[in-house]
């Protein structure tokens, strides 16, 4: 094992117990490599920074179950970064498709109609309870999965799914009423 690996092992024991200084040491040691790896996948500085944040948030959440490979956390962090980078790329792709669809719909129905529809939806979302508004923002607008939204909002995944189902039904009925 290299000297860095020995250092990871020693710091990892404290980090596993929730020591924030140990976590900071691991972050400073490996964040540049995780950033470069994420950037190679995403080709965007902002997206790569987001992937680094999500990777280290996951590392903190799962600190008691992480297994060191060769005495280093880097392989685990890179694997996690790859998954987060792919999720970010999927969300970005989904946003592009939605934006293109909205552009086509706006062009075919007239931009005023599209603006009115968006305004009506925004008004209806504003009437929802705050938690439901946050769920709509995360899942419908930002493209987060139920699992990700549940972790961010500290709710169960089934609660997020049920509240989103109710919000969608309310939005559908409001849209039908406005037509």
pLDDT per residue of the chain (179 residues) written in tens, 0 to 9: 444 545 788 898 899 999 999 999 999 999 999 999 999 998 889 889 999 999 999 999 999 999 888 889 999 999 999 999 998 888 877 666 666 665 555 555 555 666 676 777 778 888 888 888 888 888 877 778 888 888 888 889 899 889 988 888 887 776 665 55
- Determine the Cα–Cα distance for residues 25 and 97; give it in Å rounded to an integer: 40
Q: Which domains does the chain have, with CATH numbers?
A: 3-89 (1.10.1740.10), 110-178 (1.10.10.10)
pTM of the full structure = 0.55
Following DSSP, what letter does each residue of 69-115 receive, concatenated?
BTTBSHHHHHHHHHHHHHHHHHHHHHHHHHHHHHHHHHHHH-HHHHH
């Amino acid at each position: 094992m290299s000297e860095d690996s020995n250092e990871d092992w020693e710091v990892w024991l404290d980090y596993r117990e929730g020591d924030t200084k140990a976590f900071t040491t691991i972050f400073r040691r490996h964040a540049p490599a995780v950033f470069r790896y994420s950037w190679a996948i995403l080709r965007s500085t902002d997206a790569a920074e987001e992937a680094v944040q999500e990777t280290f948030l996951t590392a903190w959440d799962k600190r008691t179950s992480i297994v060191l490979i060769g005495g280093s956390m880097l392989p685990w962090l890179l694997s996690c970064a790859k998954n987060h980078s792919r999720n970010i790329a999927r969300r970005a792709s989904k946003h592009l498709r939605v934006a293109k669809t909205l552009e086509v719909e706006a062009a075919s129905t007239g931009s005023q109609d599209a603006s009115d529809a968006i305004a009506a939806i925004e008004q209806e979302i504003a009437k929802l309870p705050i938690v439901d508004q946050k769920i709509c923002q995360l899942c419908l607008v930002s493209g987060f999965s139920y699992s990700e939204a549940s972790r961010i909002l500290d709710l169960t995944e089934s609660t997020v799914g049920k509240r989103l189902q109710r919000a969608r039904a309310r939005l559908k009925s409001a849209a039908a009423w406005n037509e």
